[in-house]
Chains A and B, each alone.
Chain A
């Protein structure tokens, strides 16, 4: 250990203080492990702090559902975990079908989930859709609802995890960039621009920069750096409670208690990760606006007051890289959440801490490991 890190070695070094890094640090500390978190900017600076805040089990890939279900349990008692409500509200999320054809595919999806033993998604008809989302366009034939879903305030959440972790003895070094990582006897040596740190376990939770850490360890991954865009309107009269998402056209849509409406859905701007900059693509934002225009006529005169994008990692199969290293003892990966990792944060941190402390977990995480990219 040298530089800002002092003399004493932690049990775990977490690289990256997004929602995942902070959550893993917190859960490790709860298990009595000594943790050091190294963050190149500040906690929640990128996608963990600026995402749409959706807390959603709805429409997830089957491989993610167990982790998501575990996480949802934590969300519903989040204040017990981090002493902060994180702005979490649970008014459900609704996936709206825009055509009969799409509605048929939704029916098949729900049947498939039921057969796998998952019951969180329910098919709803046009009537129930209208009762949940009164302002939705008349042409939509139905949808799927996930009633325990909701939304939270991303930066507040990430900071709450960070604060709680700190109160349990986790040390955060912000503004410190990891430059390398190598084996040092039975432990790992992490070099940074502010000294070196040593620990038996290292968690790579570096988000859009995680491929560089993985490459350092000889486990290259095909990570794509993306910049999902969001925009928010000035306050409009309250007209919708659940979060609404679409599948065929990219849209997610949520009205906050104060009346402002958040419009997202995954249209991408340009990410310049070495400069920490994103550039918006207004033509694509215009597509989002057009979708809202079609779906919610009530929104047509609303003023867009702010638009932004966060820097995020996407994997080719849209699934995270989560679990032990394929080749190294004491190395763990937790990144690549492909623009839907916020909800997973609380649960993924708990499962990761279990993996580190106990060596295994009962929560199924098959199909998420880094080995799927081994060549």
Chain B
């Protein structure tokens, strides 16, 4: 076994992994952080998406040992107690979640977009979320939610 140290949502963790362990397995099975889901396990569906040093990645095909010392963000890290992140708020208000399985990945893909581009067009949003599949096919309301969050965050800034 190899020792792995990483930071998730601002908290440091130490665990042990093998050469084959993925970041998703570390998060779910070792640290019990379960918002990233196991979907295709081959990088296609996007429900395991997390941020590593603020960059959107697939945790299911990220070798755990390559995240040594890195900062990981999952949906659990977005909200403060009693206060949802504007994206979470917007997904709730605009019915952006149907069954909810893709939602953590959608929200993180949207966060990665808004960090770089606070005023996206609907096309920008669709492109940013293009690697995240929603099997309920609720894409319209998901894009609505991200647009609403962008507007809300823009107003909060001014």
The judgment on whether A and B are partners is no
Interface residues of B (CB under 8 A from A): none
Interface residues of A (CB under 8 A from B): none
